[in-house]
Chain A
Amino acid sequence: MGITRRKFLGWMGAAIGATTISGQKTQAATTKQFEGHPGSGGVLHDITRCIGCRKCEEACNKVNQLPAPEKPFDDLTMLDNVRRTDDKTYTVVNRFPNDSGTSPVYVKKQCNHCLEPACASACFVKALKKHKTGAVVYDASLCVGCRYCMVACPFNIPAYEYNSAFSPRIMKCTMCQPRLEKGLLPGCVESCPKEALTFGTRKQLLKIAKQRIQKYPKRYIDHVYGEYEMGGTGWLYLTGTSFAQIGMREDLGNISAPQLTAGPLSDVPIVVGLWPVLLTGIYAISRRKEKIAKEEQNEAVAATLSAANEEMEKKLAELKDKMEQQKEAAINLEIKKALKEAADQAKEDDGNAPADGPKEEK
């Protein structure tokens, strides 16, 4: 019983140790501040300026050489349904009714180019990376097609070529990384006739956004979407309509994706470090217990054996005694008989013998 208790306490101690150590590690990783690549770019989308002309969609389709859509880009009936990005479309514009019942609101949707991208954190072959320009880029030559990035993305952006048998790719906005490298603007930004899209460094864009809010407090909601969401995104949004109204989630939180998984990831090495020690310990204890049990058993067997021997000897001795006594008694009896017979005979022979006979017996 002592061993079981000791064993139990040992496990408890190790478990507590593991959790505290790993907890500290997680914190160490997350309290360190990472500012992102210096001068990394982004786009400010001023939703109040968008008129839903779909010129950006058209430009995106052209510069990225995506397949031609079923309906032309000037067909605005496409706005009747709320759409998402797919394997043939990197960006979509959606129409939402306005809070106040006036003219509808148009919102462009594409990859937000997170500062700490969930897709990159989730990718197990580093096919998705945050580039120093600010773009989150994808390398199809590494992709296995596990689609974990699609599971991870909080904005539901990456799409997958489900109908390709041999070379399916993840498809998503690249922020026109090839154009940025040439010093050109992203296709959508360049094509926007209303300056609803502004390209710049994220720092600049944040300043501009806040200035606009300050200048026209009635026009905008006092929040730059993307400043902190999921640890911050490269694309920033200004709106006059509530975010819930225009399909932008406000419950994503400010914790970046790598931080979400930092805890379990840092528990992994602790398990590797401690489990061999613990398990070997448990094995050694159970072996030792077994050995002790065996020794005790051997001792017990030996003890019972010798005890049995003694008893046997004792019994034998007793038996011997008894037998001897019986023998003696038998002899005495015989003697007595003989004497008696002799005495009787003597009595018959002469009359003075009876007084001596019983004395002989004692």
Chain B
Amino acid sequence: MDTVFYTLQDFMTHSKGITYLVMAGILIALPLFWCFITDRDEKKRTY
């Protein structure tokens, strides 16, 4: 984080950009983690 931001606009462009990447990560990670949680449950139809 050595970038200096002089305007809120620049700061937000940067931080929101990273946030969007984090969001993508979360969207991939959560379903996988749910699969991990329910892995040992009895096998049932998940639609």
Do A's and B's CB atoms come within 8 Å in the complex?
Answer: yes
Assess whether B26 is in contact with A258, with CB atoms less than 8 Å apart: no
B12 touches A130 (CB 8 A): no
Q: Are A37 and B22 neighbours in the complex by a CB distance under 8 Å?
A: no
Find the B residue at minimum CB distance from A40.
B6
CB nearest neighbor in A for B19:
A269
Cα of A256 to Cα of B7 in the assembled complex, Å: 11
Classify chain A's interface size.
20 to 34
Contact call B12/A277, Cβ cutoff below 8 A: no
Of the candidates B7, B12, B16, B30, the one having the most CB atoms from chain A within 10 angstroms of its own CB is B7
Assess whether A37 is in contact with B12, with CB atoms less than 8 Å apart: no
Q: Mark B1-28, 1 if CB is under 8 A from A, else 0.
A: 0000111111111011001101100110
If over half of A's interface residues share one DSSP class (helix, strand or loop), that class is named, otherwise mixed; here it is: helix
Given the complex of chains A and B, what is the CA–CA distance between A268 and B26 in angstroms? 13
User: Cβ of A272: which chain B residues have Cβ within 8 Å of it?
Assistant: 23, 26-27
In the complex, the answer to whether A258 meets B9 with C-beta atoms within 8 Å is: yes
* Contacts from B to A (Cβ < 8 Å): 5-13, 15-16, 19-20, 22-23, 26-27, 30-31, 34
Could you pull out 29 A-B pairs where Cβ atoms are within 8 angstroms?
A29-B12, A30-B8, A32-B8, A34-B5, A34-B7, A34-B8, A35-B6, A37-B6, A115-B7, A116-B8, A116-B9, A117-B9, A126-B13, A130-B10, A132-B6, A258-B8, A258-B9, A258-B12, A262-B12, A265-B16, A268-B19, A268-B23, A269-B19, A269-B20, A272-B27, A276-B26, A276-B30, A277-B30, A280-B30
Q: A29-B8, A37-B6, A121-B9 are in contact. List 17 more A-B contacts (CB 8 A).
A: A29-B12, A30-B8, A32-B11, A34-B5, A34-B8, A36-B6, A37-B7, A116-B9, A130-B7, A132-B6, A259-B8, A268-B23, A269-B22, A269-B23, A272-B23, A273-B26, A276-B26
